[in-house]
């Protein structure tokens, strides 16, 4: 959660009151991109700045199969005219965008709008969701009540939470080896499933709908067992491996993994003495990610930069 610090304002002169920024945000259409942008927007808005999020009611990459994503990118390029009209009408001070709109810089330049590229690969803004807390709606959901009751019966620090990502589409072989590896480990695990997009050719196969991330896991001091499939997952596994967890070993030639390696990796990270360094490492990083004052300073520095470097501002540092 982001908390805005109170500011002392000299009311003797209206000119002393700093003008609030008007910022537009334009993420790529994938939940792993949209979520950090939303958190960014909330942190900015809590400090009194106006935020516009683009685009509204957009489809996402999780709704299509991987080989269809290039067509989604073509459709995304079709937003160019609409984004131009939007920016021309709303005239924000800044637009913060993702990697995808290659056509956006010329538009921003023409309209005199400052712009910034927000890379989620090193995102400073990470969502922090609740840990098994029940809302009134949850309490009316019988299935959720059963889940909470089961979780509350497990020993603290022993439940494995499985999250493959919204876009991972494992083969039946990978899915089976992962499931059998989880069972073979002997550890209790929590794996929420969702159906694959239509047209997958395998309507019975289901995959994880995650509510977390590496940053979120470390926020709560949870050690990680990483099983990368594509895009930045491999980079993340290499970055965090041996610090807060390990990567499941794969065959160097085929890239496959076996149930035994899943089970062995889980037991090492979760319960064995040799894995204590990973558990301790996760707790150490937790202190950093839970430091709200530190996160607030980052956000304040970020907004201070935007205020000083927007188009037409007299500051140029």
- Same domain membership, residue 218 and residue 165: yes
Residue 65 falls inside a structural domain:
yes
Burial zone of 207 (CB within 10 Å; 0-12 exposed, 13-18 middle, 19+ buried): buried
- Same domain membership, residue 80 and residue 217: no
CA pair distance 303, 317, nearest whole angstrom: 14
Residue 283 falls inside a structural domain:
yes
Global pTM exceeds 0.75: no
- Same domain membership, residue 34 and residue 149: no
Q: Minimal CA–CA distance to 198: which of 165, 169, 173?
A: 169
What digits encode the pLDDT tens for the residues 58-90?
Answer: 455 555 556 666 766 777 788 899 999 999 999
Residue of 23 and 28 predicted with greater confidence: 23
Residue 8's pLDDT is: 34
For the record, the structure tokens of 136 come out as 């009134």
What digits encode the pLDDT tens for the residues 139-161?
Answer: 566 777 888 888 889 988 889 98
For the record, the structure tokens of 247 come out as 């990567």
- Same domain membership, residue 206 and residue 99: no
- Same domain membership, residue 36 and residue 152: no
- Same domain membership, residue 113 and residue 32: yes
For the record, the structure tokens of 160 come out as 């494995």
Q: Which of 91, 106, 125 is the last residue of a domain?
A: 125
Residue 209's pLDDT is: 33
What digits encode the pLDDT tens for the residues 169-213?
Answer: 788 899 899 999 999 999 999 886 665 444 444 433 333 333 447
- Same domain membership, residue 244 and residue 145: yes
Residue 307 falls inside a structural domain:
no
Residue 118's pLDDT is: 86
- Same domain membership, residue 152 and residue 117: no
Task: Please report how the helices 259-270 and 276-289 are oriented relative to each other, as an axis angle in degrees rounded to 10.
Answer: 70
CATH assignment of the domain containing 207: 3.40.50.2000
Q: Does the structure show a pLDDT above 70 at 37? A: yes
Instruction: Find the mean pLDDT for residues 49-56.
Output: 66
- Same domain membership, residue 140 and residue 118: no
Give the model's confidence band at 43: pLDDT under 50 very low, under 70 low, under 90 confident, else very high.
Answer: confident
Give the model's confidence band at 295: pLDDT under 50 very low, under 70 low, under 90 confident, else very high.
Answer: confident
Domain interval for residue 115:
20-125
For residue 26, cis peptide bond before it (omega within 30 degrees of 0): no
Instruction: Find the mean pLDDT for residues 5-34.
Output: 63
Residue 191 falls inside a structural domain:
yes
Give the model's confidence band at 13: pLDDT under 50 very low, under 70 low, under 90 confident, else very high.
Answer: very low
SS3 of residue 132 by DSSP: coil
- Same domain membership, residue 261 and residue 196: yes
CA pair distance 27, 109, nearest whole angstrom: 19
Residue 278 falls inside a structural domain:
yes
Residue 132's pLDDT is: 47
Residue 186's pLDDT is: 94
- Same domain membership, residue 220 and residue 270: yes
Give the model's confidence band at 241: pLDDT under 50 very low, under 70 low, under 90 confident, else very high.
Answer: confident
- Please report the DSSP string for 65-127 in residue order: -GGGHHHHHHHHHTTHHHHHHHHHHH--SEEEE-SS-TTHHHHHHHHT-EEEE--GGG-S---
Give just the sign of the alpha carbon dihedral 141, 143, 149, 154: negative
- Same domain membership, residue 167 and residue 259: yes
CA pair distance 188, 155, nearest whole angstrom: 9
Residue 9 falls inside a structural domain:
no
CA pair distance 191, 194, nearest whole angstrom: 10
- How many domains would you assign to the chain? 2
Residue 305 falls inside a structural domain:
no
CA pair distance 286, 131, nearest whole angstrom: 15
For the record, the structure tokens of 229 come out as 């499939």
Residue of 274 and 164 predicted with greater confidence: 274
């Amino acid at each position: 959660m982001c908390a805005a610090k109170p500011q002392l304002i000299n009311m003797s002169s209206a000119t002393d009151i700093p003008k609030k920024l008007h910022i537009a945000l334009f993420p790529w259409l994938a939940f792993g991109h949209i979520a950090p942008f939303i958190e960014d927007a909330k942190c900015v808005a809590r400090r009194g700045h106006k935020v516009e999020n683009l685009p509204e009611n957009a489809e996402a990459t999780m709704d299509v199969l991987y080989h269809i994503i290039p067509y989604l990118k073509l459709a995304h390029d079709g937003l160019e005219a609409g984004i131009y009209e939007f920016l021309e009408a709303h005239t924000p001070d800044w637009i913060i965008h993702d990697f995808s709109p290659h056509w956006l810089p010329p538009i921003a330049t023409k309209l005199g709008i400052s712009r910034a590229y927000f890379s989620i690969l090193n995102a400073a803004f990470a969502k922090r969701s609740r840990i098994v807390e029940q809302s009134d709606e949850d309490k009316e959901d019988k299935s959720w009540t059963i889940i909470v009751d089961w979780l509350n019966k497990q020993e603290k620090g022993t439940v494995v939470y499985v999250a493959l990502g919204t876009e991972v589409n494992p083969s039946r072989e990978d899915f089976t080896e992962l499931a059998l590896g989880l069972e073979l480990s002997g550890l209790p695990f929590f794996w929420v499933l969702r159906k694959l997009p239509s047209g997958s050719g395998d309507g019975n196969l289901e995959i994880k709908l995650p509510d977390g991330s590496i940053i979120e896991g470390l926020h709560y001091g949870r050690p990680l067992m990483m099983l990368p499939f594509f895009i930045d997952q491999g980079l993340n596994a290499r970055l965090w491996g041996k610090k807060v967890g390990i990567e499941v070993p794969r065959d160097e030639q085929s890239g496959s993994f076996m149930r035994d390696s899943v089970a062995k990796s889980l037991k090492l990270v979760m319960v064995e003495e040799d894995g204590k360094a990973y558990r301790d490492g996760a707790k150490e990083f937790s202190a950093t990610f839970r430091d709200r004052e530190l996160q607030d300073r980052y956000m304040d520095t970020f907004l201070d930069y935007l205020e000083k470097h927007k188009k037409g501002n007299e500051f140029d540092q």
